Structure 1
């Protein structure tokens, strides 16, 4: 019975698809080639940037050279200051995402399965979703002060809506014919959810997870730039006040690298959980 349910939601892979490296995952050579191709543009940009700084074509005050930024990064890293600020930022982002993303998933499931809950909650959720971070942040700080909770709530606000919307839409996009077949097979309600709804809605939920993590990181930047005594955003804000442009770039690069690593982790999770999908790979 369980195998029959899995056949309902998992498309059968066609014969003659790409070779073993595509079927069983990329080989190390494929991954190395992808890394080299992906690194070409940043390397070229950095080389031109450094050359422009060396020949005096770029103002050091306006745009420090990559070597100057790397030196500032090294000094912050060796002093332990960078890791301290980064640890605080990661803790805030994780807590905010846990609260906002968890509630978004919960409300998305509730509204997805209940038309009454949708009529009651979704209009309000959609209005709140349209409020920008910068518009709600002053109110949150006014209510909760400049402490940790104000920052966590700003991050949670960003994390909530992507998971809410994508979970809701993922459940509602499940083909109704699957439920007809499930009734014929006499599936219980819990079995329908576990073996039909969850696998079918999982691509949309994982997309929501990816967007939610991204907006959590954006919310962290907003929260720490508005008011903070520690964190990568504070490091950037303090560098702005002291005109240390290279430190600002260090903070921006840290935000970019960590954001990319988190996004890659979710993409790896998608690859593992959605291996059964027969989708176009380019």
Structure 2
């Protein structure tokens, strides 16, 4: 009975994989047809390449749908991913029709998909330089702000003397948006690059300090009693009890700080720094190249997603006992 049931489930999964795979192939064939067969409103050099790419994806999905019975893993992948592949293809087809084919969306403010491909094809060097500049600025500012926030949070949670002096300053300066200090920061620092790093670090430091402080303060006092009984010194209590027990809070602070860092990064690049994705967006808008603007926003979204994913990977390694508790 069990074997019969498993065979039935496998057959249903195989049929679903085939149907979904063929549906996805049809959706991407629609992308190829709308892109390649209908005339463009305007000049879009990458139209033919987009149509070819849609046709290739459609052929690969059709082949996968027919071959998935040979590979159960391929069938499961089709069942899992095909709805998204269909949705993306339909979105691209509607976007294509509304922008490049029927002209419903005003140009050049809403370029078609091939306009994005055009930027990746011809302006990849400038885009890459901007990406590297933004990543460098983000990493340096995030590290500085994270270290300062972590040390400040540990001091606040452990030392009453530090809490007495730091807490009032934190309550006064911390909630203030770092971008409100732009005129002062760019005047006080010798270069726009150093000022931007300070701006990002300032945005990171506040959530890191508050969450680290909360983590230290929430440690069960019984942990300290047990450690003292085993002969732990005050420094060992901080390094081996307080900090490890507060790490879940610390990573929450890191996630919150990452969002604040990206916000400050964009403001700094739009107003002060002469390199980076924010500067690339502003420069492209000035020239009316909105396909470059959309492309830079897409790259920025990928950078944000990659950064959060990397942080989750680190969290999963450090807090292995909480792995899977928070999803991304």
TM-score category by the smaller chain?
0.7 to 0.9
Change (3 A) 1:196 1:274: same
Contact 1:214 / 1:263 at 8 angstroms: preserved in 2? no
Q: Secondary structure at the match of 1:142?
A: helix
**Shift, 1:47, TM fit:** 4.5
Contact 2:316 / 2:322 at 8 angstroms: preserved in 1? no
Q: Distance in 1 between matches of 2:158 and 2:87?
A: 45
Structure 2 unaligned regions, length at least 5: 1-72
**Shift, 1:42, TM fit:** 5.8
Q: Which residue of 2 aligns with 1:161?
A: 206
**Shift, 1:226, TM fit:** 0.6
Is residue 70 from structure 1 mapped to residue 143 from structure 2 by the alignment?
no
Equivalent residue runs for 1:160-239 within 5 Å? 160-239=205-284
Contact 1:112 / 1:168 at 8 angstroms: preserved in 2? yes
Q: Distance in 1 between matches of 2:245 and 2:203?
A: 25
Matched pairs, number: 254
**Shift, 1:238, TM fit:** 0.8
TM-score by length of 1: 0.79
Q: Distance in 2 between matches of 1:116 and 1:221?
A: 37
Q: Which residue of 2 aligns with 1:249?
A: 294
How big is each residue's C-alpha offset from its partner over 1:40-79, in whole Å with a ceiling of 9 and x where there is no partner? 76665444433432333322323112221221122111xx
Q: Secondary structure at the match of 1:255?
A: helix
Q: Secondary structure at the match of 1:276?
A: helix
Q: Distance in 1 between matches of 2:245 and 2:75?
A: 32
How big is each residue's C-alpha offset from its partner over 1:215-246, in whole Å with a ceiling of 9 and x where there is no partner? 22221111010123222111111111111111
How big is each residue's C-alpha offset from its partner over 1:155-194, in whole Å with a ceiling of 9 and x where there is no partner? 1111211211111111111112222333344433333333
Contact 1:62 / 1:245 at 8 angstroms: preserved in 2? yes
Change (3 A) 1:227 1:277: closer
Larger Rg: 2
**Shift, 1:211, TM fit:** 2.2
Equivalent residue runs for 1:90-169 within 5 Å? 90-144=135-189, 147-169=192-214
How big is each residue's C-alpha offset from its partner over 1:94-138, in whole Å with a ceiling of 9 and x where there is no partner? 221222221111111111111221121112112212222331112
Q: Secondary structure at the match of 1:57?
A: coil
272-281 or 126-135, which deviates more: 272-281
